[in-house]
Amino acid sequence: MELADLLIGLDPKVSFWLNKENESPLYLAAEAGSLKCVKSMLDQNEITEETGDETILSAAARTETGNILECILHKALRFINFRDEEGRTALHLAASVGYLEGVRCLLRDCPFDLVQRENNGGLFPIHMAAIGGHVAVIEELLSLCPDPWEMLSRDDQNILHVAAKIGVSDVVSYVLKNPELRMLLNQRDKDGNTPLHLATMNWHPKIVSVLAKDTGADLKLVNNENRTALDEAEYLMEAMPSLERRLTWSALKVAGAPKDPSQNIPDADKHITPPEKRITNYYMNRVNNLLLVATLVITVTFAAGFTMPGGNNDSDPDKGMATMLGHRAFRIFICCDTIAMYSSIIAAVTLIWAQLGDPYVMKMALTLAGPLLGIALMMMALAFTAGVYVVVNKFTWLGITILVMGLLFLMIMSLIFPLFLPLWSSNSILRRLSWYPFNMLVLLTGS
């Protein structure tokens, strides 16, 4: 600080000299949050058009330190009208970082900046706050902006469009809970896309689910390409889609989103695999994978049925009978192994029929086979625990250890089991049940 005072005292104008990054010492002091240094530079200089630093207020707006912003505005209020190289005002930058006090200060001195656009996308400060997920700043800006549906970017996008496109769930939830903002839900941008379209096209399953389940959402709306949100999801779906894409598509199906009956692929896009074929390929891959699992479960459980824990009797009158038949845990083993085998057999037969290639049959087969395989795997695990317990229970500590591990595993499986339920069923009960696995997958994938 002493060295800075010395240099400024020798030549006050050095405060405004620019380095190769076009940053002045005044800018760097503001960016570093040094209120004392900024005040010293401003006190020793007469701010004129020639000496004014057009970026100083931008640095102060991003810093959120002390009263630097108020100090600069008190010394030279005209700085409030300066913009950076991207055409952003200080209010844009303060809103983008969530600097609430700075936003209030700037609005007090120049409320007109509320309706200033930046150069790139024509975004207002309220759009910048939405991109950053700063709900408190949005509330402050809305207090002076009674018509947010008129605050549109150059692409005619409102704050809900922007939040849905970026994937800012806090802003989406805030808008949907605010009765005065709910009219933004079905508003279209210049391409005809609603916020649901944009969330779908950018693969944000959690936001798609929230928007699609809202009672005010019109799922039938089409964009300029005559596509509903579900049409867009299937049109953009890859041959081997990521989990986020599958979840996004599932969220729309669970919500009952329709397809536009007049939707056709343009001639220019004939080289692209049709959405129906991509979905069919996805189904077929799942059918083949589940069929392999079902076959393995059948093989294991079949072998276990003829390899009884403890062996069989070799002498009359119980020759061939299981030696542990009177043990309770053995009976549990037999029942669980039988359930696992028959469940997997039914699943396998269903999946074999699904290989005929009919999309409807594949869909129904997956709906049935998924839960059956989940039951088979749980029963197989329980049969293993019971079978091992039968042959080691004479050692009490070992038997208890086996039971504890088995019960712990079953608790984990009970949490995972809903993942075997279909995520796209139109049945109201299954749709309610699918809400849990859907959110669980969203949580696990960090979507």
For residues 248 and 307, membership in a common domain is answered with no
For Cα atoms 121, 124, 125, give the angle at the middle one, nearest 5 degrees. Answer: 125
Average pLDDT, the chain: 81
Question: What average pLDDT does this structure show over 26-43?
Answer: 81
pLDDT given at position 424: 59
- Please report whether residue 63 resides in a domain: no
Structure tokens of 84?
């950076």
- Please check whether residues 397 and 435 belong to one and the same domain: yes
- Give residue 167's pLDDT: 92
Assigned domain for 82 exists = no
pTM, rounded to two decimals: 0.68
Task: Say if residue 245 is in the same domain as residue 325.
Answer: no
Instruction: Check pLDDT > 60 for residue 266.
Output: no
Q: How many folded domains does the chain comprise?
A: 2
Q: Residue 322 in 3-state DSSP?
A: strand
Give yes or no: residues 234 and 215 share one domain: yes
Under a CB-based contact definition with an 8 Å cutoff, are residues 121 and 88 in contact?
A: no
> CATH number of the domain that 244 lies in?
1.25.40.20
Mean pLDDT along residues 95-102: 87
Same domain, yes or no: 238 and 285: no
Whether 332 is in a domain gets the answer yes
Task: Assess if residue 320 is contained within a domain.
Answer: yes
Residue 135 lies in a domain: no
Res 268: pLDDT: 37
Q: Are 268 and 285 found together in one domain? A: no
Q: Which of 228, 254, 272 is the last residue of a domain?
A: 272
Q: Is residue 133 part of a domain?
A: no
Mean local confidence (pLDDT), 311-318 = 70
Report the percentage of the chain scoring pLDDT > 90. 26
Of 243, 272, 301, the residue at which a domain comes to its end is 272
- Specify whether the CB–CB gap between 69 and 100 falls below 8 A: no
Instruction: Out of 229, 251, 272, pick the residue that ends a domain.
Output: 272
pLDDT the model gives residue 416: 67
Across 181-190, 207-216, 357-366, 399-408, least confident range: 357-366
Note down the domain range covering 172.
Answer: 162-272
**Any domain includes 79:** no
Q: 398 and 287 share a domain?
A: yes
343 is a domain residue: yes
The pLDDT score that the predictor gives to residue 409 is 83
350 and 264 part of one domain? no
| Three-state SS at 387 | helix
pLDDT, greater one: 176 or 265? 176
> Which is more confidently placed, 436 or 100?
100
pLDDT bin (cut points 50, 70, 90) of residue 23 is confident
pLDDT at 321 over 90: no
Residue 54 scores a pLDDT above 60: no
Looking at the structure, do residues 301 and 433 belong to the same domain, yes or no?
yes
pLDDT band at 46; cut points 50, 70, 90: low
Residues 145, 157 contacting (CB under 8 angstroms): no
pLDDT surpasses 50 at 304: yes
**Do 196 and 247 share a domain, yes or no?**
yes
Whether 249 and 298 share a structural domain? no
- Let me know whether 250 and 333 are in one domain: no
Helix and strand element counts for the chain (H, E): 20, 0
